[in-house]
Amino acid sequence: MPQLPQVVRAFWVTFSAMFQPATTESYPEEKDKFPPKPRFHGRHQLNRHADGLEKCVGCELCAWACPADAILVEGADNTDEERFSPGERYGRVYQINYLRCIFCGLCIEACPTRALTMTNEFELADQTRESLIYEKQDLLAPMMPGMVEAPHSMVEGMVERDYYLGKISRATDAQIAEVAQRLSATEGAQ
């Protein structure tokens, strides 16, 4: 019978805890109640310039800096007919494997054009492994007002350096007309 006081004490702890308020968070029901901290490293995003051209120049430095080998970049050359970024090259293939990514942020530090940043999005769970390999179209920043979808030419009279100095504020009328003409030509061919 020497164990009886220990058993009574254990039951007393359990019984007294039953009447205390719960300290758990109702995560799926109350998502906005606990926003992520400002420096939180979440899902990656490929940024665009103010006219819609991509900032990624396909240099592959982010892939080299990744300790988990989670990033695949294949660069390609821009042409006058198809220009995706202001530089000579652009990232034709861009993939991030979130099954491998450790969210360390070394890829962000390695990017010379600030094309790659990390958002506060943290809900990356999914049903299949394939859906956790994000392609370029999944990572590209959304089109904001004043942007037109690449490919299109650079702003008339501007060079690559002007883009990175922030001298471009929006797409020009010539760029908008160029994209509209390209879209109508592809719709007419179909």
pLDDT of residue 137: 96
Q: What is the pLDDT of residues 117-171, one digit of tens each?
A: 999 998 898 999 999 999 999 999 999 999 999 999 999 999 999 998 999 999 9
Asked if residue 84 lies in contact with residue 151, where contact means CB atoms within 8 angstroms, the answer is yes
CATH topology of domain 43-174: Alpha-Beta Plaits (3.30.70)
One-letter amino acid for residue 61 of the chain: L
Reported confidence tier of residue 106, pLDDT bands at 50, 70, 90: very high
Runs of H (alpha helix) within the chain: 4-17, 61-65, 106-110, 136-139, 160-164, 173-189
Whole-structure pTM value? 0.80
Answer whether residue 1 shows pLDDT above 60: no
Give the pLDDT confidence of 22-62 residue by residue, as tens digits. Answer: 777 777 788 777 788 888 899 999 999 999 999 999 999 99
Return d(Cα 158, Cα 169) in angstroms, integer.
12
Inter-residue contact 122 to 47 (CB < 8 Å): no
Query: In this model, does residue 12 exceed pLDDT 80?
Result: yes
Token pair of 151, please?
A: 């490919």
The whole-angstrom separation of Cα 50 and Cα 97 is 28
pLDDT number for residue 18: 83
Residue 64 is predicted with a pLDDT of: 97
pLDDT for the residue numbered 24: 75
- Residues 97 and 43: their CA atoms lie apart, in Å, by 11
3-class SS of residue 34: coil
